[in-house]
Structure 1
Amino acid sequence: MPSLSPTRAIGLALILLVAFTGILGPVLIPGDPFDQSLMNALSGPEGMAPLGYDHLGRTIFHRLAQALRLSPVIALLAVVTAGAAGLALGTLAAARGGWIDRLLTTLADALLALPGLLLVLIMLAMVPGTALGFWAGLSLVLWVEFFRLTRAATRDTLASPAVQASRLLGFGPFYLFRVHIWPEIAPLMLTAAAFGTATAIMAIAALGFVHVGMRAPTPELGLMMVELLPYWREAPLALLSPVLATFALLLGLTLVAGSRKA
């Protein structure tokens, strides 16, 4: 079993720390992220609120824990959907060629020419303030990268002598994909998935920061930042909590994706 590089180990540790906070944090310290207590507004940390309270007296810890479940889940679902679509269509384009390849490549290039956030905003305009809108928009943006990677790698693999020999021996397309194509493109797909997840989380937070996307009082990383920004002098820890959590998650995903061994 190959050993983890130090960079990837740090990335995995950051991701696990964020996942622990989001999943097990509310189990260890029970609380309601929507419960308000104006008497505690902008108060500092205490036993049941280790990160203090926001401007409405809601516990930052429990709101952050729910936000760390919401954004990554949406991002992962979008990446899985986009990865499956890109893998299927990229393999089809490389294997069939001809007008199918030209049609799919033209479609991918057309979507690539549009700003990614614009496509997400269009989907959010159709389904405002919902996770469904984010999922559909991010999937529409991310599948292009998976398609381009799969198409390029599959074309090279299909031209290799090993694949030609397997074809002469009568092996079908599923065998060729499982034995020859997938082992070649799997590392690329996993790296693209990590980068895609980071991109999706950053997009969700960015749109929340400008009041587009999830609506209050839903705990979401970008929305938490914009809500707490006016109170950064009175409660700097409250604002730093979602900022540092977002930074740690994005840094962890980037380190994991960028440290792939050849």
Structure 2
Amino acid sequence: MISSLSRTQKTGAGLLLLLVAYAIFGPMLQNGDATAQDLNHILTPPNSEFWLGTDHFGRNMWIRLADALQLSLMMAALCVLTSAVIGVTAGVLAATGGRWLDRGLDALVTMILALPGLVLVLIFAAIVPGSFWMLYVAISLIQWIEYFRVSRAITQRLTRSPEVQSSKLMGFGQWYIFRRHYWPAIAPQLFTIAAFGAANAILMMASLGFVYVGIQPPLAELGLMIVEHFPYYSDAPWLLAQPLLLLALVVLACHLMGRGRTQ
């Protein structure tokens, strides 16, 4: 698996592993709570006690950024997993389940695409502001479509292949045909979709933080932190730069991993 990745993809994977390590182990390296306020240390620059300084409420930025990154990575992982399972399942069923099922699923996709993805996520987020799980459902509802389209197109092509026809004539069931013929052709295409889907999920959640319908304070979320820190860009520019840089790095890592595979 690793040997089949290009140098660019390996760079992205290495960067992502570093970010995951910081998100998991970062809070263990400093004592404290991401939501604990200390008004005696407001806007403290980075020093030996507070490695990344403190925010406008005296909260430890090292811990808050790690918590925010944990939230973003969790959202990305859940959305990718859910969207892939739903999209691949629906795509294979649409290609093999008959004309009416194919038309029905295609109509559902058309209805979802009638609204821009971010607008649809915004509508769901506005129903229950601050709900992580509502954001997860909304983003997954948008992202499964890409998996559906790819899986459907590949499966439709393979259903007419001699290999699949031979398996059917020999009496093999649909599960065997999926494992033997469909999945090996679909799986390589999912890596790129998943990488870009993870980046889009993180950006969508951050974008909702800009309009205050995403994750709510005092929880740490990269988009919300950028908005909260913006008024202090002149007094503490490092405070605004940190969530911006972290957001850029995690999206960059996903995009690098999404580059085409080597042959």
Give the corresponding residue for 1:20.
21
| Amino-acid identity (%) | 46
- 1:145 to 2:146 alignment: yes
Q: Is the 8 A contact 2:4 2:262 kept in 1?
A: no
Q: How many residues align?
A: 262
Q: Distance in 1 between matches of 2:219 and 2:101?
A: 43
1:127 aligns with 2:128: yes
Please tell me whether the aligned partners of residues 224 and 242 of structure 1 are also in contact (alpha carbons under 8 angstroms). yes
The equivalent of 1:46 in structure 2 is 47
Moved >4 Å (runs of 4+): none
Quick check: 1:31–1:48 contact (8 Å CA) kept in 2? no
TM-superposed deviation, 1:50? 0.9
Most deviating of 248-257 and 158-167: 158-167
CA distance in 1, matches of 2:253, 2:201: 14
Task: Give the counterpart letter for 1:109 in structure 2.
Answer: T
Which AA in structure 1 matches 2:52? L
Residue 260 (structure 1) aligns with: 261
Distance 1:10 1:236 in 2: 29
Q: 1:8-157 residue pairs with structure 2 within 5 A?
A: 8-157=9-158
The answer to whether the 8 A contact 1:119-1:140 is kept is: no
Residue type at the aligned position of 1:232: Y
Secondary structure of residue in 2 paired with 1:258: coil
Is 1:5 the counterpart of 2:6? The answer is yes
Distance 2:84 2:37 in 1: 40
For 1:113 and 1:149, the matched residues in 2 are separated by 19
Distance between the aligned counterparts of 1:39 and 1:11, measured in 2? Answer: 39
Give the unaligned 5+ runs of structure 1: none
Give the letter aligned to residue 153 of structure 2: A
Q: How much has 1:127 moved relative to structure 2?
A: 2.1
Q: Distance in 1 between matches of 2:262 and 2:117?
A: 29
Distance in structure 1 (CA, Å) of the matches to 2:258 and 2:74: 18
- Are 1:192 and 2:187 matched, yes or no? no
The Cα shift of 1:241 comes to: 1.0
Secondary structure, aligned partner of 2:258: helix
State the 1:3 CA deviation: 4.5
With the length of structure 2 as denominator, give the TM-score of the two structures. 0.96
Alpha-carbon distance in 2 for matches of 1:117, 1:4: 31
Which deviates the most, 83-92 or 69-78? 69-78
**8 Å CA contact retained: 2:192, 2:259:** yes
Residues 48-72 of structure 1: per-residue CA shift (max 9 Å, x gap): 3211111111111110000001122
2: CA distance between counterparts of 1:41 and 1:56? 6
1:248 is matched with 249
